[in-house]
Amino acid sequence: MDFSSFLTSLGTSLVIFLVLMCLFVWLSRKPGNNVVYYPNRILKGLDAHEGLSGVRNPFAWMREALSSTEEDVISMSGVDSAVYFVFLSTVLGILVLAGLVLLPILLPVAVTDHAVISDNTTSNGTFSDLDRLSMGHVEEKSPRLWAFVIATYWVSLVAYYLLWKAYKHVSDLRAAALMSPEVRAEQFTVLVRDIPPTPEGQSRKEQIDSYFKTIYPEAFYRSMVVTDNKEVNKIYEELEGCKKKLAHAEAVYAQSKQAGKPEGMRPTNRTGFLGLFGNKVDSIEYYTKKINELTPKLEAEQKVTLREKQQGSALVFFTSRVTAASAAVSLHARMVDTWTVMDAPEPRQLIWPNLPKNFYDRLIRQYVIYVIVFLTIVFFMIPIGLISAFTTLPNLRKLLPFLKAVVDQDVIKTVLEAYLPQIALIVFLALLPKFLLFLSKAEGIPSESHAIRAASGKYFYFIVLNVFIGVSVGGFIFSKIKTIEKDPSSIVDLLATSLPENATFFLTFVALKFFVGYGLELSRIVPLIIFHIKRKYLCKTEAELKEAWVPGDLGYGTRVPGDMLIVTIVFCYSVIAPIIIPFGVVYFGLGWLILRNQVLKVYVPSYESYGRMWPHIHTRILASLLLFQVTMLGYFGVKKFYYTPILIPLPIMSLIFAFICSKKFYRFFQATALEVACRELKEIPNMELVFRSFIPPSLSAGKSDDDQFEDALSQVSRTGSFV
Amino acid sequence: MDFSSFLTSLGTSLVIFLVLMCLFVWLSRKPGNNVVYYPNRILKGLDAHEGLSGVRNPFAWMREALSSTEEDVISMSGVDSAVYFVFLSTVLGILVLAGLVLLPILLPVAVTDHAVISDNTTSNGTFSDLDRLSMGHVEEKSPRLWAFVIATYWVSLVAYYLLWKAYKHVSDLRAAALMSPEVRAEQFTVLVRDIPPTPEGQSRKEQIDSYFKTIYPEAFYRSMVVTDNKEVNKIYEELEGCKKKLAHAEAVYAQSKQAGKPEGMRPTNRTGFLGLFGNKVDSIEYYTKKINELTPKLEAEQKVTLREKQQGSALVFFTSRVTAASAAVSLHARMVDTWTVMDAPEPRQLIWPNLPKNFYDRLIRQYVIYVIVFLTIVFFMIPIGLISAFTTLPNLRKLLPFLKAVVDQDVIKTVLEAYLPQIALIVFLALLPKFLLFLSKAEGIPSESHAIRAASGKYFYFIVLNVFIGVSVGGFIFSKIKTIEKDPSSIVDLLATSLPENATFFLTFVALKFFVGYGLELSRIVPLIIFHIKRKYLCKTEAELKEAWVPGDLGYGTRVPGDMLIVTIVFCYSVIAPIIIPFGVVYFGLGWLILRNQVLKVYVPSYESYGRMWPHIHTRILASLLLFQVTMLGYFGVKKFYYTPILIPLPIMSLIFAFICSKKFYRFFQATALEVACRELKEIPNMELVFRSFIPPSLSAGKSDDDQFEDALSQVSRTGSFV
């Protein structure tokens, strides 16, 4: 890619961004769009604009985002969102501090060197101005390389310092949230798995109750046996679907009455597959009949489920936070594979079908899935490599000669050259996260947030290995495959030599991601269009309308690995081609600004894990840093710099830093510290409410008395303090 | 070593053993020796022979050992000793079951093969009958090797089965001991370390009490701040020494009165270095004066210690076992490097100077010591290699020609050939354990039993790597050093080829160990002689006499690694030279019998860790098994057996077995399961006694009131249930 196509790409991206910005400012003023641009505020019961000054000012959203505090974020969107901003601002801080030193020092040092420009320091054989600004422009063995050594150290030290501060800060945020005087159901609950078979003459409930009552005679409240809800969920969903369709049909009927005919037109539907085949019936009658059929069926199934489908797993409730926190980490049974206890996640993020999974089942699943993920990561390298080899224009022309006429036109050529590889990459990557989340859930993880963390971790390794190393080493690797076979450690050298050649590719990639990506994010064009289509043609009832605009959550599962890829790219290039740093700063600065707006006004968190995401993020930032340090070691080697070993302490320091951080902070993110849990509560917790919040809707629906729970859900313990 | 010298060695060992046996039978009948042969019974307040039938019968001890039950062992010597017998009987079981199948099958298969006997299948170039019984006698690629493949599988499967049963059994023993209704001080106590600096205006005691009272308002009893007792210990020991010497002097004086002179002869001593220099003074006056001086000094120092030498560590007492067990594993502080809590060891095995060691201090010490141990293990290989190269007779003759005259005499030659290498080895190995125990204590481990486990683990690796691999590969390695440099994995082949050559060496080694080692063990010749010398010339008072015969404990720290070496040797040779199996059976059978006697009658356990030793033993038996399997893989390769890969599943199975065992059982050996701790107690625990048992003697001496404790040792909490 030459310099002009780089500028074209940058220019186009900027134009798209500006257009999307204008669209946002224009569209978000229309009150009809409030539900798209302010759904979080609306769901929280706030007025879309109330308290937000000057809707007239097109840049008001920026001021609001900048002036919002961390407490605002926590109160509007929870600790997890606040932690995400800690991540953004930490990376931003590292890049700004790195840039302040690196740009004024390294650029002049590189530009003024008079190295012989050999072919391998330029991209695709064409020399561009960008390459003059990079370390590739510095002569081999030159003493100027000392500046780059110092820069490597500077970036690392700044990263350590800010990461340490961030970890401490996140730990504070987590502690503050956990010690809040609010009663939170999950803080009184533990999840018990691998309960051994019931002894003769005891019900499951009695077994569990007597077990925990013996150990915690005072703090035990009651227990809830986990049941196999597959069948009851199916009926419940069918019933709910019918209720929605009935409401829809009634709304359509009412509408038709208003629209001219006073007797109205009764809506009809077909009973067969997808409503396309079968007999035509009157919808209102049909659904009413169906609801009447399903309701007793659901009740019967609820009873059967509670009585006969009990599994070897339970939720146990305690009257004290300290006991629950301490029980979650204690060893209860002598055989570690029975009565395993862990802290319960929030009711809304429990993955019920995973709860009764057996200890060894989980263990085996975990390893099988590690193998599958490993294979996926390794064998996806081949298609990515092919894509990056294909999607250079000369290749395309050679391989698909019929495209020649199109491709040779100057404008198309430039655009294609600028975007083709990136778009291929982005589309390709969009397919994966769902698959990884599916795999993570199949591991038997009991909570949604944990599954998302696990998926996100897998995605990170995938993305870094395949995109970054894959594209960098990409075409190169095939020609050098012999060298690697002989000496596997040469892959570091290979990475080091191929990095500078791909600098412009990644500059464009980062720019595309922030301009177009964040432009789309802010303007919410796609959800807006979908919402308006739905409102016009599909939604008849209030509930349907709400369903159409409910915004979903921030999507950490894919967002964090995506950001981490940028972190990796920018870290690795920060010294080799420091010109990438401003791009990184813009990415994370713009990201912070736009997502602040989105978090405060748009997205609704679907769970709260009190910042458990952070250790994952922290480890992965450090992994990027380590990759950067190892790459630099390799690259200084390629530059035949005599003092290269001076960089060896860096990776060791990173490992020690990671070790100390995990020793000092990590356990608090796995468990609740008792000094935090023992803070006083605002009120004596209503244990009945705590208990009820964990009953899945399919089991609680249609009943107000709890006679039916007596089999699987134990009664209030009479010895407890809450009689 | 040829066959005749092997038989000589065996014969001599047997004779020594028989002589020692007779000595034991003869000496143990004399009532004057009861304190040497029955000290454990005497200390337990039992009569030496009471309840033990027929002292007249010289083999009564065997019957008693055989008829004793596991409960006898536990009641006389604790769970740790019982676990040691589980180890012995498990290995014995494995070897018996292996021998029953291997001996009748493999020996005929090997003997009847008509392989060409090449030089490298014999020891030192001389062909012996023993070699015909080994796998080395089977032709390369022969289908007879199938029998050896099956044998390898049989040994492994038997080992898995018995190890699994043993782990379960030990887990039961541990549970039974921990759920005993006896009040055991350590079950109510946790050890708190890394307490952060005291906040302004609070004493250390207040800080600790308020911290734990907030978290455990009901179960917290009181706390004891750990102090720096170095100074007070020194004074206390001096005082105790003076008291002993005074008693001694008084006894001497009284004796001299009886012996003729009615006025007696007042004993004197010199005040200078070691009592050899300085002024001569009257002992009774001198020590009385010194005691009078030291007593107030001790009291003053006690006060100073309790008030001013408080450290950032404490023992915290709870009124409930469940709370203590649960607190020991719970996370208390947000920062994991502060307020670290663990279960307290027994008072007698607390290593006080290690308690206040800082979190990072411990961490760094641990890694530094790993490095030191690693270096020790690696660089001791050189001396061991030299010893084994030196101590063959031809070498001795060559290198030390002046020995030629002695060495060439037939008797001396045979004896030297038989014993020299083994004795060199045994002496050499005797030097190490103390050093390793010192290193383990320097890691900052808070309990004696844990330090011994750690030392024992280090010693195992040392012993296996150096003795077994060192001797096996020994001389060989120097000639082949080039091969290893080229291809490090060839060390397995090397081990495999050199193993059969050393079979007779190890046969002799095992025989020497059990005949001479266990003979000395049973007859207790050395302690007996020392005791009689001391009684005659040194001991004047009862206390001194008791000190002279107190037997010490079983010495797991060196005993277990020593046994493990035999396990490793026998496992590795079990298929290659099955003739070793009977030797192993005798070693562990005789060991079981003799140690059963020693444990019931002689040794007094110095601590109780409720079987925590077992996971270490288990892992190391598995490590030996793994070494055996890998060696067999290599040896079948050397035999050019076409189906060698059929053995590959074995090491994988071992790793999976180890993984599952550790998942299922291990955590219960690290922590007390709550279902065990919640068993009811015989009586309401007397918390004051529990608390007092942890006060070190140097601090509690000379005081009956506890005014002095009010600074470092908190008062009874008024909110608790023990006012």
Q: Are B428 and B376 in contact (CB under 8 A)?
A: no
Burial class (CB in 10 A: 0-12, 13-18, 19+), B15: exposed
Q: pLDDT per residue over A41-64, tens digit each?
A: 888 877 766 555 445 577 778 888
CB contacts, 8 Å: B339 with chain A? 675
Provide the pairing of β-strand B189-193 with A220-227.
Answer: unpaired
DSSP 3-state assignment of B298? helix
CB contacts, 8 Å: B667 with chain A? 331, 336
Q: Are A195 and A312 in contact (CB under 8 A)?
A: yes
How many CB atoms within 10 Å of residue A275? 11
Chain B CB within 8 Å of residue A664 CB? yes
Q: Are A121 and A136 in contact (CB under 8 A)?
A: yes
Chain A CB within 8 Å of residue B342 CB? no
Q: Are B243 and B539 in contact (CB under 8 A)?
A: no
CB contacts, 8 Å: B214 with chain A? 675, 678
Return the number of CB contacts < 8 Å for A and B.
102
Task: For tokens 């901003």, name the residue.
Answer: A85
Chain B CB within 8 Å of residue A666 CB? yes
Of A331, A668, A676, the CB nearest to B671: A331
Q: What angle do CA B388, B390, B395 make, to 5 degrees?
A: 125
Task: For tokens 């939604």, name the residue.
Answer: A539
Mean pLDDT by groups of 10 residues along chain A of 723 residues: 73 87 84 82 74 60 86 89 94 95 87 58 48 76 87 95 96 92 89 91 89 91 89 89 86 78 73 70 84 87 84 91 91 90 90 89 92 82 63 65 68 68 64 85 90 89 73 55 56 66 74 83 84 81 79 84 88 87 91 90 88 92 92 84 88 94 92 88 85 85 53 45 34
A671 contacts B335? CB cut-off 8 A: no
Task: State residue B189 phi and psi, 5-degree precision.
Answer: -125, 145
Which of B214, B674, B681 is the best mutation test for A, with the most CBs of A within 10 A? B674
Chain B CB within 8 Å of residue A164 CB? no
- In angstroms, rounded to a whole number, what is the distance separating the alpha carbons of residues A282 and A264? 13
A363 contacts B332? CB cut-off 8 A: no
pLDDT in the model for residue B121: 43
- In angstroms, rounded to a whole number, what is the distance separating the alpha carbons of residues B66 and A296? 70
Of B174, B331, B676, the CB nearest to A668: B331
Of B214, B326, B360, the CB nearest to A678: B214
DSSP 3-state assignment of B341? strand
Residues with Cβ within 8 Å of A325's Cβ and at least 6 positions away in sequence, in order, are: A187, A343, A671, A672, A673, A674, A677, B330
pLDDT in the model for residue B40: 83
Give Cα B2 to chain centroid, integer Å: 35
Chain A CB within 8 Å of residue B339 CB? yes
For residue A168, what is the nearest residue in chain B, using CA coordinates? B335
Of the given ranges (A667-681, B352-366, B514-528, B537-551), which has the lowest mean pLDDT?
A: B537-551
| Residue in B528, B516, B599, B606 with CA at minimum distance from that of residue B61 | B599
Query: For chain A, how long is the longest CA-to-CA vector?
Result: 93
A330 contacts B326? CB cut-off 8 A: yes
Of A334, A660, A675, the CB nearest to B333: A675
Chain B CB within 8 Å of residue A336 CB? yes
For residue B214, what is the nearest residue in chain A, using CA coordinates? A678
Chain B CB within 8 Å of residue A721 CB? no
Burial class (CB in 10 A: 0-12, 13-18, 19+), B272: exposed
Task: For tokens 């800690």, name the residue.
Answer: A86
Alpha-helical (H) ranges within A464-555 are 471-479, 481-486, 490-498, 503-512, 518-523, 525-537, 542-549
pLDDT in the model for residue B114: 65
Strands (E), B3-109: none
More confident residue, B262 or B142: B142
For residue B668, what is the nearest residue in chain A, using CA coordinates? A334
Length reported for chain A: 723
Chain A CB within 8 Å of residue B681 CB? no
Q: How far is A662 from chain B (nearest CA, A)?
A: 9
B327 contacts A678? CB cut-off 8 A: no
CB contacts, 8 Å: A676 with chain B? 334
Of B211, B332, B337, the CB nearest to A663: B337
Length reported for chain B: 723
A130, two tokens: 């960008």
| Residue in A407, A428, A425 with CA at minimum distance from that of residue A416 | A407
Q: How far is B203 from chain A (nearest CA, A)?
A: 19
DSSP 3-state assignment of A71? helix
CB contacts, 8 Å: A215 with chain B? 322, 674-675, 678
A43, two tokens: 């769901």
| CA dist A281 → A247, A387, B577 (Å) | 16, 52, 86
Q: What angle do CA B367, B371, B376 make, to 5 degrees?
A: 145
CA dihedral B76, B78, B84, B85 (to 10 degrees): 40
CB contacts, 8 Å: A339 with chain B? 675
Chain A CB within 8 Å of residue B675 CB? yes
Chain B CB within 8 Å of residue A435 CB? no
B218 contacts A671? CB cut-off 8 A: no
A332 contacts B330? CB cut-off 8 A: no
How many CB atoms within 10 Å of residue B411? 8
CB contacts, 8 Å: A337 with chain B? 663-664
pLDDT in the model for residue B166: 96
More confident residue, B470 or A339: A339
Chain A CB within 8 Å of residue B673 CB? yes
Q: Mean pLDDT over all residues of chain B? A: 81
- Taking each helix axis from N to C end, the angle separating B649-661 and B145-178, rounded to the nearest 10 degrees, works out to 0
pLDDT at residue B719 greater than cutoff 70: no
Of A322, A327, A333, the CB nearest to B673: A333
Of A327, A339, A663, the CB nearest to B336: A663
Within a 13 Å sphere around the CA of A34, how many CA atoms are in the beta-carbon half? 11
Long-range contacts of B327-331 (CB under 8 A, 24+ apart): B327/A326, B327/B190, B327/B216, B328/B190, B328/B671, B328/B672, B329/A329, B329/A330, B329/A331, B329/B671, B330/A325, B330/A326, B330/A329, B330/A330, B330/A671, B330/A674, B331/A329, B331/A667, B331/A668, B331/A671, B331/A672, B331/A673, B331/A674
Alpha-helical (H) ranges within A133-275 are 145-178, 204-215, 230-258
pLDDT in the model for residue B511: 81
B325 contacts A325? CB cut-off 8 A: no
In the stretch 517-556 of chain B, residues with CB closer than 8 A to chain A read none
| Residue in A150, A145, A124 with CA at minimum distance from that of residue A134 | A145
What H or E segment, with its residue span, contains residue B303?
Answer: helix B283-308
Domain ranges of chain A: 3-181+486-675, 232-303
Chain B CB within 8 Å of residue A337 CB? yes
- In angstroms, rounded to a whole number, what is the distance separating the alpha carbons of residues A355 and A301? 20
Provide the pairing of β-strand A340-343 with A189-193.
Answer: antiparallel
Of the given ranges (A293-307, A447-461, B184-198, B248-262), which has the lowest mean pLDDT?
A: B248-262
- In angstroms, rounded to a whole number, what is the distance separating the alpha carbons of residues A595 and A524? 12
Q: Are A174 and A668 in contact (CB under 8 A)?
A: yes
How many CB atoms within 10 Å of residue B525? 16
Q: pLDDT per residue over B372-416, tens digit each?
A: 888 877 776 666 566 666 666 666 666 666 666 666 677 777 766
Q: How far is B321 from chain A (nearest CA, A)?
A: 10
B332 contacts A674? CB cut-off 8 A: yes
| CA dist B334 → A70, A175, A551, A580, B435 (Å) | 21, 7, 35, 38, 38
| Residue in A91, A39, A30 with CA at minimum distance from that of residue A510 | A91
pLDDT in the model for residue B125: 40
For residue A339, what is the nearest residue in chain B, using CA coordinates? B675
Burial class (CB in 10 A: 0-12, 13-18, 19+), A645: exposed
Q: Are B557 and B610 in contact (CB under 8 A)?
A: no
How many CB atoms within 10 Å of residue B32? 10
B171 contacts A334? CB cut-off 8 A: yes
Q: pLDDT per residue over B20-70, tens digit each?
A: 888 888 888 887 788 888 888 888 877 766 555 445 577 778 888 888 888
ipTM greater than 0.90:
no
- In angstroms, rounded to a whole number, what is the distance separating the alpha carbons of residues B329 and B340? 9
For residue A666, what is the nearest residue in chain B, using CA coordinates? B336
Which of B168, B195, B212, B330 is the best mutation test for A, with the most CBs of A within 10 A? B330
Of B330, B334, B668, the CB nearest to A336: B668
In the stretch 352-381 of chain B, residues with CB closer than 8 A to chain A read 359-360, 363
pLDDT in the model for residue A718: 37
pLDDT in the model for residue A21: 87
How many CB atoms within 10 Å of residue B409? 11
A211 contacts B334? CB cut-off 8 A: no
Q: pLDDT per residue over A615-647, tens digit each?
A: 999 999 999 999 899 888 888 888 888 888 889
Mean pLDDT to the nearest integer, B95-104: 93
Q: pLDDT per residue over A424-456, tens digit each?
A: 666 666 777 888 889 999 998 999 999 999 998
| CA dist B2 → A669, B124, B131 (Å) | 65, 8, 10
Most confident segment among A310-319, A381-390, B7-16, B155-164: B155-164
A322 contacts B216? CB cut-off 8 A: yes
DSSP 3-state assignment of B189? strand
Q: Are A359 and A337 in contact (CB under 8 A)?
A: yes
> Hey, what CATH class is B185-229+309-345+686-710 in?
alpha beta
B675 contacts A337? CB cut-off 8 A: no
Question: What single string gives the DSSP state of each residue in A232-249?
Answer: HHHHHHHHHHHHHHHHHH
Chain B CB within 8 Å of residue A681 CB? no
A60, two tokens: 């008001």
Q: What angle do CA A574, A575, A581 make, to 5 degrees?
A: 30
CB contacts, 8 Å: A331 with chain B? 329, 667-668, 671-674
Any bridge partners for residue B193, and if so which? B340
